[in-house]
Structure 1
């Protein structure tokens, strides 16, 4: 298997976490769901920094974001599959 560019912790998650430096828009990304070792493929729509989230499916403002199988916040803007998800379009419960 190739080295994944993003990880998803739970099959319930709707975002993954980028785990490589310098991920560029247009990159065909391989992702791994750590709970069950399944793989996903997405195309990055934007440059996404390491540690930031990527949308696994289209997300609308008001949608609940699930990471680690847990509700971590709500979208405040829309994001398509492969889009960067961060403070510009997500309000986390933590902050």
Structure 2
């Protein structure tokens, strides 16, 4: 399985395929990450620790900030990411 690391300054990478809890994903910088849960392609994984309040970087730009401390390998999504730009509606939680 591969991660897409879109910009050298990004602290997240994107899953290039669906993954299962326990799958190992190699990092280009060395080492690997064990997926914490089942995830579908396109979801973000932290490739560096991100402290609460710090910018979450994707495409070389902040997409929001960490609502809590995010460890290497954690799934980065609505439960631990807060947008500075728009209100995010969680359609998955709404059952849509």
Per the normalisation by structure 1, the TM-score is 0.76
Q: CA deviation at 1:26?
A: 1.7
Tell whether 2:41 aligns with 1:50: yes
Number of matched residues?
84
Q: Which residue pairs with 2:89 in the alignment?
A: none
Unaligned runs of 5+ in 2: 87-96
Per the normalisation by structure 2, the TM-score is 0.76
45-54 or 79-88, larger mean C-alpha shift: 45-54
Unaligned runs of 5+ in 1: 32-38
Q: Which residue pairs with 2:6 in the alignment?
A: 9
Q: CA deviation at 1:43?
A: 2.1
Q: CA deviation at 1:45?
A: 2.4
Structure 1 segments, 4+ long, off by >6 Å, are: none
Of 17, 21, 24, 2:20 maps to 24
Q: Secondary structure at the match of 1:16?
A: strand
Q: CA deviation at 1:89?
A: 0.4
Cα distance in structure 2, aligned partners of 1:80 and 1:45: 11
- Please identify which structure carries the higher strand content: 1
Across the aligned residues of Structure 1 and Structure 2, the Cα RMSD in angstroms comes to: 1.6
